Amino acid sequence: MKERERLILTSVLGLLLLAWLGFLFHTSPRFAGSGIGAAFGLAGAALMLFPLAYPIAKRIPFLHDRITAHVSLQSLMTLHVYAGIFGPLLAIIHTGHKFNSPLGIALTAVMLLVVVSGFIARYLLTFITHEIKDKLLLLQTARGDLDAAWGTLENAPVAAKALPRFRFVAAGLASLGIDLSTTGGPARDVTRIAESVADLEYAIRTHELFKSWFARSLTLHIILSALLYLLLGLHIWSGIHFGLRWNS
DSSP string over 127-163 = HHHHHHHHHHHHHHHHHHHHHHHHHHHHT-HHHHTTS
Tell me if 19 sits within 8 A of 69, measured CB to CB: no
pLDDT at 135 over 60: yes
pLDDT confidence of residue 111: 94
Mean pLDDT over 232-246 rounds to 76
pLDDT one-digit tens code per residue, 61-87: 888 888 888 888 888 988 998 999 999
